[in-house]
Every structure is written in structure tokens, then in C-alpha cells.
């Protein structure tokens, strides 16, 4: 049976002064080589044209009115729903740019929720700049969750690369807050959501989830901290009783070498950098940030706005290509 065509993906530029716009131009240029599904941008045609010019690219940028038009034009031009105007110097973020990032993200969420687009790929934002305009939540994950009517705590961040998937159980909080935030409910809830998503969206029937300890040597039987004994191990036991293949807590420093990675499908980590350092060390140029637990598909490249190299033709489009491919694959799997 021939699969019916899905609606196109929708992408956002993120902060227009970051590398998001240029990487969307590069992604479109590589659409055949990367075998990308059709996508369109909710953003600014003028910003994308400026980005193409800075890249010395002849990629046409066409303003469209809807997703159907976007699909019609995708073969010959990068389609954009032109909702924003103004020019933005690469590397020079502005308040107006943060507002555009917020408003275009909100519009893109609405398009996916309405079924007009099959998935959302978000460009990088600058969190501090977004906070200054009253952005809801620490990042796009929480914003998209709220747009979907999902409690931010139930929108689970996973970073994925070819040989590693990681889940930070606590994310954009100060390290000093992590021990008090780590409770059994949080660990059990987020790993349960992740296990279901790995089955549904990645086709892993019985995902193996390795859980890291918080303390060095996973606490050394309680001699180097108590969280493993009082909280993490009991949470793992509860998950296992519920039929989830969770193991640990493991000493984090021996989870990420090749032999360690071969033992699991997802590494559940206690805090942001415990998860993202190994992922970005191994897969920075192809890493994808995937939000699990949402009714929609949402991915983003694994990096930020890279203001220091925006407009300099130095940014790799690898993570953006990987994010678009993964969003398309998940969307296809969900409709199979």
C-alpha cells in the first residue's frame, strides 16, 4: 500500500541573530542528499534571504500562504510563512529578535496542533534574551509543552545521536538545586514517559534504560552520598516492578565508553551536564534534542544560537539536518 503523504514539517528560525536562519538555508540546500521530508519555515523571508546572501547561496526563498503551497514549492525553493519583518545582524541579538522567536514558535506550535504540519523543528534561542521578554519557562521545551496542554514536568528532554541517547532528569536548574529536586516521583515519571516514547517513536520494543547515580562511584554504597540508596535505587525497583527494563544506579564515569553504551538504549542521568557532556562530546555535529511526552513531534538541533559564529559560514548544518530527519521519521512512524 502506498503511504499517503504527510503534511510538511514546520521549522522555526529561533533567534534571528543566531545560526538558525543560515542553517535552515543549508538544510534546504542539502534536502536531497539528506533525504529530508518537505518542510517550511515560520519566520521571516527577509531574514532568510539575508542569511542566504551571507552564505553566498543562491537558494530561492519563497513566501507562501499555507502548508500546501509550501509542499508545491519545496522542490525549487525554501518556503516560508512570512510573519516577521526587519533585519537582524548575525551575532547581534535584539529584543525584537527574541520577540520574533517567541511569536513564530507559538504560531508553529498551533500549526502542528491543528495537523497542518506533521512535526516541529525549532531553531535555537538565547534563553537569557527570552527570559527578558517574559518567555514562559526556561526553554522551548516548556513553552511547547504548555502550548500542547502538557505539564512542563511531563515534557521530557532527550538528546539523541547515532550511538547514544541521554535523558537529563533535571535540566535547566542550578546544580545546587539538583539533590533536592531528585525524588522518586520525578525519576519514575520521566523514565516511564521516556520508555513509552522509545517504543512508540523509535520502535524499540523493550527499551533498556541505564540509570546513572548522582554521586561519584554511584555513592560507593552510601559512603559518598545517600541519593542512590534512598531515592534512585528504590525508583529503579518501582520501574522494574512496572515492567520497565531499568537498571542501576551506575557510576556515571563508566557508562559512556563504547562497551558501556552497548548495554542500554537510553542513559537516564541526574542533571543536565551529566547527560549532555557525553552526548555532545560524541555527537555534537549530529545530535538532536527530542521532546518526549508531547502529543506532537518536536525536535531541535543539539546546540544554541552560536552568536560568535553566526553569519561566518562556520556553523555546521549537521544537527539541523538530523533534527529534520528525525522529526520526519517519528511523524511517519506515528501514522504507520
Ligand X SMILES: N[C@H](C(=O)O)[C@H](O)COP(=O)(O)O
Ligand Y SMILES: NC(=O)c1ccc[n+]([C@@H]2O[C@H](COP(=O)([O-])OP(=O)(O)OC[C@H]3O[C@@H](n4cnc5c(N)ncnc54)[C@H](O)[C@@H]3O)[C@@H](O)[C@H]2O)c1
Interface residues with ligand X (CB under 6 A) are 125, 139-141, 276, 289, 300, 302
Beta strand segments in 144-280, E: 156-161, 164-168, 208-212, 245-250, 266-269
Nearest to 322 by CA among 275, 277, 274, 290: 290
| Minimum separation from the CB atom of position 20 to ligand X (A) | 12
User: 216 by DSSP, 3-state: which?
Assistant: helix
Contacted entry of ligand Y, ligand X, none for residue 141, CB cut-off 5 to 8 Å set by kind: ligand X
Distance between CA atoms of residues 215 and 222, nearest Å: 9
Distance between CA atoms of residues 168 and 306, nearest Å: 22
Contacted entry of ligand Y, ligand X, none for residue 305, CB cut-off 5 to 8 Å set by kind: ligand Y
**158 with 294: CB under 8 angstroms?**
no
Q: Which is nearer to ligand X, 198 or 294 (CB)?
A: 294
Contacted entry of ligand X, ligand Y, none for residue 196, CB cut-off 5 to 8 Å set by kind: none
Nearest to 99 by CA among 84, 81, 110: 84
| Minimum separation from the CB atom of position 115 to ligand Y (A) | 25
CA distances from 299 to 214, 216, 287 (A): 27, 32, 10
Q: Does 125 bind ligand Y (CB under 6 A)?
A: yes
| Minimum separation from the CB atom of position 300 to ligand X (A) | 5
User: 241 by DSSP, 3-state: which?
Assistant: helix
Which residues are annotated as part of the binding site for a divalent metal cation?
A: 172, 217, 272
How far is it between the farthest Cα atoms of the chain?
Answer: 63
Backbone angles phi, psi at 243, to 5 degrees: 95, 10
Distance between CA atoms of residues 303 and 288, nearest Å: 9
Q: Does 124 bind ligand Y (CB under 6 A)?
A: yes
Q: Which is nearer to ligand Y, 215 or 300 (CB)?
A: 300
Q: Does 138 bind ligand Y (CB under 6 A)?
A: no
Q: Does 308 bind ligand Y (CB under 6 A)?
A: yes
Q: Does 300 bind ligand Y (CB under 6 A)?
A: yes
Interface with ligand Y (CB under 6 A), residue from 306, 321, 324, 326: 306
Q: Which is nearer to ligand X, 7 or 123 (CB)?
A: 123
Interface with ligand Y (CB under 6 A), residue from 265, 305, 321, 322: 305
Q: Which is nearer to ligand Y, 118 or 289 (CB)?
A: 289
| Minimum separation from the CB atom of position 184 to ligand Y (A) | 29
Q: Are strands 245-250 and 78-82 parallel, antiparallel or unpaired?
A: unpaired
Q: Which is nearer to ligand Y, 37 or 319 (CB)?
A: 319
When CB distances to ligand X are compared, the closest residue is: 139
Backbone angles phi, psi at 284, to 5 degrees: -60, -35
Q: Which is nearer to ligand X, 61 or 167 (CB)?
A: 167
Site string for ligand Y, 258-297 (x = CB under 6 A): -------------------------------x--------
Q: At what angle do helices 184-202 and 233-241 cross, to 10 degrees?
A: 50
Which positions touch ligand Y (CB under 6 A)? 19, 124-128, 140, 289, 300, 303-306, 308-309, 315-316, 319
Amino acid at each position: 500500500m502506498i503511504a499517503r503523504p504527510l503534511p510538511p514539517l514546520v521549522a522555526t528560525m529561533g533567534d534571528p541573530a543566531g545560526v538558525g536562519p543560515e542553517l535552515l538555508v543549508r538544510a534546504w540546500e542539502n534536502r536531497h542528499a539528506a533525504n529530508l521530508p518537505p518542510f517550511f519555515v515560520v519566520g521571516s523571508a527577509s531574514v532568510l534571504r539575508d542569511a542566504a546572501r551571507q552564505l553566498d547561496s543562491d537558494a530561492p526563498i519563497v513566501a507562501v500562504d499555507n502548508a500546501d503551497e509550501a509542499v508545491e514549492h519545496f522542490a525549487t525553493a525554501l518556503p516560508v510563512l512570512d510573519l516577521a519583518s526587519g533585519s537582524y545582524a548575525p551575532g547581534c541579538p535584539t529584543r525584537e529578535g527574541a520577540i520574533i522567536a517567541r511569536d513564530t514558535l507559538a504560531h508553529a506550535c498551533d500549526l502542528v496542533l491543528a495537523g497542518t504540519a506533521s512535526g516541529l523543528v525549532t531553531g535555537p534561542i538565547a534563553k537569557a534574551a527570552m527570559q527578558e521578554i517574559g518567555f514562559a519557562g526556561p526553554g522551548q521545551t516548556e513553552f511547547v509543552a504548555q502550548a500542547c496542554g502538557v505539564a512542563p514536568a511531563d515534557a521530557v528532554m532527550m538528546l539523541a545521536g547515532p550511538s547514544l541517547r541521554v535523558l537529563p532528569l533535571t535540566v535547566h536548574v542550578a546544580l545546587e538545586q539538583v539533590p533536592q529536586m531528585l525524588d522518586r516521583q520525578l525519576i519514575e515519571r520521566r523514565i516511564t514517559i521516556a520508555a513509552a516514547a522509545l517504543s512508540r517513536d523509535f520502535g524499540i520494543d523493550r527499551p533498556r534504560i541505564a540509570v546513572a547515580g548522582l554521586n561519584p562511584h554511584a555513592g560507593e554504597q552510601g559512603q559518598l552520598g545517600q541519593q542512590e540508596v534512598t531515592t534512585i535505587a528504590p525508583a529503579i525497583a518501582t520501574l522494574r516492578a512496572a515492567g520497565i527494563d531499568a537498571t542501576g544506579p551506575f557510576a556515571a564515569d563508566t557508562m559512556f565508553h563504547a562497551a558501556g553504551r552497548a548495554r542500554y538504549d537510553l542513559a537516564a542521568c541526574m542533571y543536565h551536564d551529566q547527560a549532555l557532556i557525553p552526548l555532545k562530546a560524541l555527537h555534537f555535529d549530529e545530535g538532536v534534542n527530542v521532546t518526549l511526552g508531547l502529543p506532537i513531534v518536536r525536535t531541535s538541533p543539539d546546540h544554541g544560537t552560536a552568536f560568535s559564529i553566526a553569519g561566518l559560514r562556520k556553523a555546521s548544518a549537521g544537527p539541523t539536518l538530523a533534527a529534520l530527519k528525525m522529526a520526519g521519521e517519528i511523524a511517519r512512524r506515528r501514522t504507520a
